[in-house]
Amino acid sequence: MKKHTKNLLAIALLFSVFFTVNAQDGAKLYKQNCAACHKIDKVSIGPPLKGVFEKWKEAGEEEMLFEWVANPTDLHDSGKSKMAKEVWDFSPMTMTPMAHLSKEEVAAIFKFADTPPVAKEEPKTETKGTTKTKKVAPVGFSTGTIVFLIGIIGFLLIALLVLMNGLKALKNKDNGGNKIKYEEEGFGFLTKSVAIEDEDSILLDHNYDGIQELDNVLPPWWVWMFYATIIFTFIYWGLYQTFGVWPLQEEAYEIEMETAEKEVYAYKEANGLLISAETVTQLTDEASLAAGKEIFDGTCAACHKADGSGLVGPNLTDKYWIYGGAIGDVFTSISEGRANGMPSHKSQFNELQIQQIGSYVKSLKFAEGKEPEGDLEK
């Protein structure tokens, strides 16, 4: 058992080394601490971080930059920093002091800011729906990669050692110097439990009200599975975290949403549903108007009356429009709804149907009804 403990300790050590190195990863630190207010090369709440290090260095205030990050207000109020004074009025907001970050960590952030990784995404192509944008995993030879490889090699060495020890033990069937008969029939090799005739040899001394304990070794199937989970950890870790071969949950979600959007787009394209308020045209063919009328009578007449002359909703047949009488405006009124009681219909009808309803509305003959509302349009 001692040997196992040592092996586990070695593995734990490798894990912790890996985590420490990862924690100094500038990109991560930047995301965790600064990205809420800063962008690398664009103005956000705070100024862009790219080139800031050089700027302060040239002004001879390289050291003060670290003081700034640790506590901006202190540095500014001390009056010794020209750069702090310059940037102070950038925003009415004061930057959060980041005193919990070590100098190395802050340096890593600026290093990251000055050498942003190559774009991970291919530019999105305009022809949505037809092209697949695949996220390319950033395979680089970073510190993380190296430590990961060392981890793997270390682990394999340990695994080999354990395996050799295990094989030796299995061969000798040695348990504390006693030759012990293990169960060999059937699946005995999986459990390595002691044969019943030989159980006395592993019976422990203590006896609680007649209950005694057999000191069987851990069943090999269990031990193998345990080691398999450790191997799995490294594989999983490498593929997801270090090499980014497969996306993490958040990214996977984004990719799925993107794919779904494209599918929706492709579906609409294939079914002639790519109609928006900007592109909609007024239909005049009878079939479309009849389809529009059918929906209008069933859905809209309750509020606009069957002839469109208005009830709860305004008269749709006059030349007065609150939100505009162009087909695009009518399309938006129907699709998105309007503030004072006009419901949205986009979950009920698809774009083509809304185009048909809108066209029908536009085809309505003037009917005496509700007083005009809105502006007169010709």
Binding residue count for ligand HEC, defined by CB under 6 A? 52
- Rounded CA-CA distance 325/376 in Å is 9
Least Cα distance to 202 among 165, 176, 234, 239 occurs for 176
Site string for ligand HEC, 273-312 (x = CB under 6 A): -----------------------x--xx-xxx-------x
Tell me which residue has tokens 């956000």.
Answer: 44
Q: By rule CB under 6 A, what string of x and - marks binding of each residue 109-138 to ligand HEC?
A: x-----------------------------
The Cα–Cα gap between 272 and 284 comes to: 17
The residues near 359 (Cβ < 8 Å, ≥ 6 apart) are 282, 283, 284, 288, 289, 292, 327
For residues 209 and 212, give the distance between their C-alpha atoms in angstroms, rounded to a whole number.
8
Closer to ligand HEC by Cβ: residue 38 or 192: 38
Among 96, 207, 241, 344, binds ligand HEC (CB under 6 A): 96
Nearest in space to 280 (alpha carbons), one of 333, 320, 316, 242 = 333
Name which of 92, 48, 99, 54 is nearest 72 in CA terms. 99
CA 356, CA 297: separation in Å to the nearest integer? 13
Say how far apart CA 185 and CA 233 lie, in whole Å: 34
Is position 36 an interface residue for ligand HEC (rule: CB under 6 A)? yes
Neighbour count for residue 148 (Cβ, 10 Å):
21
Asked if residue 97 binds ligand HEC (CB under 6 A), the reply is: no
* Of residues 96 and 284, the one with the C-beta less far from ligand HEC: 96
Can residue 64 be called a binding residue for ligand HEC (CB under 6 A)?
no
Nearer to ligand HEC, 93 or 287 (CB): 93
Query: Site for ligand HEC (CB under 6 A): which residue of 26, 313, 317, 351?
Result: 313
The contact set with ligand HEC (CB under 6 A) reads: 33-34, 36-38, 45-47, 49, 52, 65, 68-69, 83, 87-88, 90-91, 93-96, 98, 101, 106, 109, 296, 299-300, 302-304, 312-314, 316, 321-323, 330, 333-334, 338-343, 345, 357, 361, 374
